[in-house]
């Protein structure tokens, strides 16, 4: 499915609801600039939540290769955008993922696709971090997985405390990454070259 050209069932109904929301906000939905806004927003929301209809486990197993490599594999600086489930405002940043293979590796782009799938759902950063880790651990059965996410939340930037430069960092890990030395190796590699948001 191409999310830019193919849309799911319920699109027109979503648009009706967004038109009502605009009216409740005090807008004139018949003015030129807003006439197509309800359907545009409905399409945008289907794109931003497409992860509900994608299988992250299948993405990994579709590119699974037997390989005896058993050192750390890191895919870092994976850009992502998601919607906070509390205010449905965006949060965005970078995900850094490491795993230690246990007989099988997956295509490197598939790690980024897993991040993409889980971020295209209504989320909190803490759960997003855990879901990425759990998916890789449960699918590849590696010796360990670690995920670190750094993000800015527009619900903190645009409303409430209105802090523009706050960055939230979350992490989750399993297996070999329970050892402080292994976690430290990963974090040192991130600090060495990782760019700030």
Sign of CA dihedral 32, 38, 42, 44: positive
Q: How far is CA 23 from the centre of its chain?
A: 32
Q: β-strand 90-100 against 64-66: which pairing, if any?
A: unpaired
pLDDT at 21 over 60: yes
Query: Biggest alpha carbon distance in the chain?
Result: 63
Q: What value does the mean pLDDT take over residues 180-185?
A: 95
Catalytic residue among 27, 57, 130, 155: 155
User: Has 125 been annotated as catalytic?
Assistant: yes
Annotated catalytic residue, options 20, 35, 86, 179 = 86
pLDDT band at 197 (very low <50, low <70, confident <90, very high): low
Instruction: Tell me which of 31-35, 49-53, 92-96, 189-193 is least confident.
Output: 189-193
Q: Of 84, 120, 135, 137, which is the active-site residue?
A: 84
pTM of the model: 0.92
Q: What local confidence, expressed as pLDDT, does residue 2 receive?
A: 60
- Choosing from 13, 85, 126, 184, the catalytic residue is 85
Give the model confidence (pLDDT) of 121-177 as tens digits. 999 999 999 999 999 999 999 999 999 999 999 999 998 888 889 999 999 999 999
**Per-residue pLDDT tens for 112-127?**
999 999 999 999 999 9
Q: Is 38 exposed, middle or buried (0-12, 13-18, 19+ CB in 10 A)?
A: buried
Q: What is the DSSP letter of 123?
A: E
87 is catalytic: yes
Mean pLDDT of the region 170-191: 95
Annotated catalytic, 86?
A: yes
Q: How confident is the model at residue 84 (pLDDT cuts 50, 70, 90)?
A: very high
DSSP assignment of 137-193 equals HHHH--SEEEEEEEEEEHHHHHSTT--SS--EEEEEEEEGGGSHHHHHHHHHHHHHH
Set 54, 87, 130, 185: catalytic member: 87
> From the CB of residue 126, how many other CB atoms can be counted at a distance below 10 Å?
13
Active site residue 164: no
**pLDDT bracket for residue 194 (50, 70, 90):** very low
Quick check: 104 and 143 in contact, CB under 8 A? no
**Distance from C-alpha of 114 to C-alpha of 37, rounded to nearest angstrom:** 31
Which residue in the list 46, 123, 125, 137 is annotated as catalytic?
125
Q: Which of 118, 108, 46, 54 is nearest to 81 (CA)?
A: 118
Cα dist. 60→18, 75, 99, 107, 121 in Å? 36, 14, 13, 8, 19
């Amino acid at each position: 499915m191409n999310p830019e050209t193919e849309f799911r069932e319920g699109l027109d109904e979503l648009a009706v609801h967004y038109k009502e929301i605009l009216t409740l906000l005090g807008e004139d939905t018949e003015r030129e600039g807003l006439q197509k806004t309800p359907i545009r927003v409905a399409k945008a929301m289907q794109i931003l939540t497409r992860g509900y209809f994608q299988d992250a486990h299948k993405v990994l197993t579709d590119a699974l290769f037997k390989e005896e490599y058993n050192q750390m594999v890191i895919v870092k600086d994976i850009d992502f955008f998601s919607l906070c489930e509390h205010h449905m405002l965006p949060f965005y940043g970078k995900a850094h993922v490491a795993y230690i293979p246990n007989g099988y590796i997956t295509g490197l782009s598939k790690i980024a696709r897993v991040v993409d799938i889980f971020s295209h759902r209504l989320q909190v950063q803490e759960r997003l971090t855990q879901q990425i880790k759990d998916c890789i651990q449960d699918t590849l059965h590696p010796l360990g997985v670690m995920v670190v996410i750094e993000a800015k939340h527009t619900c903190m930037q645009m409303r409430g405390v209105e802090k523009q430069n706050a960055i939230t960092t979350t992490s989750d890990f399993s297996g070999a990454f329970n050892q402080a030395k292994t976690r430290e190796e990963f974090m040192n590699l991130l600090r060495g070259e990782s760019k700030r948001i």
